[in-house]
Chain A
């Protein structure tokens, strides 16, 4: 199974709502990533988890809160978002064996988020 799944596919939320994005992989990958992608722009790294521990936080505002409950799951909790946070949120995973294959990331289809 080389698939990364993300739910929901689409999400519309108000600025006072609390919602969560979910990501799951069953490839045994021990590194998982959240990216944000605005229209016609490249993905921008937000967070990296390595062996279920947060290893990289790219100075993301606290209204985004990541969580890695186990090695297969990654969540992104959203609270008090702004309209400019509307974007495609991508989850990815990769091996953690320090070989060149570790660089290859497997992406989910993304969650299209609209903040109203």
Chain B
């Protein structure tokens, strides 16, 4: 089964609103990453948070990590139509950085 489960599966918001996506995982991790994928294209790396970090920011992105609950959230503030995409969390088990497992993904639609 998938390492990461994300919710919601789909999210539709108005431009300017904030979008929050959640990811839960099952085993111990070294870090957790978030990627974006536009409509059947390649994935783009957004942000990496290490297991000893609780929060990280990058531009309009804010990621939190709670290792005790094995969960992470991605917040996109002041969303834009260009943020419309699928968002995946990705984890690599402790000791194995190459074997990355992607979560089920959240499909975000930002309405202009």
Interfacial residues, chain A to chain B (CB-CB below 8 A): 4, 31, 33, 41-45, 48, 50, 55-56, 88, 90, 92, 94, 98, 100, 102-110, 112
Interface of B is mostly: strand
Contact B31 A100 (CB under 8 A): yes
Indicate if B74 sits at the interface (CB-CB under 8 A).
Answer: no
Q: Footprint of A on B, CB under 8 Å?
A: 2, 30-31, 33, 35, 40-45, 48, 50, 88, 92, 97-105
Count, A-B residue pairs, CB within 8 A: 60
- Closest approach, in angstroms, between the C-beta of A24 and any C-beta of chain B? 14
Determine whether the beta carbon of A102 is less than 8 Å from that of B97: yes
Contacts A42-B104, A103-B92 given; does A109 touch B42 at CB 8 Å: yes
The answer to whether residues A56 and B98 also contact, given A42-B88, A103-B30 and a CB cut-off of 8 A, is yes
CB pair A55 B105 closer than 8 Å = no
Task: Report the Cα distance A24→B77, complex, angstroms.
Answer: 35
Q: Among the listed A41, A45, A92, which residue makes an inter-chain contact with B101, where contact means beta carbons less than 8 Å apart?
A: A45
Bound-state CA distance A90–B31 (Å) is 22
Q: Is the interface of A mostly helix, strand, loop or mixed?
A: strand
Given contacts A41-B104, A98-B97, 18 further A-B contacts (CB under 8 A): A42-B104, A42-B105, A44-B102, A45-B99, A48-B98, A55-B98, A56-B99, A88-B40, A90-B42, A92-B43, A100-B31, A100-B48, A102-B97, A103-B31, A103-B33, A103-B100, A107-B42, A112-B40
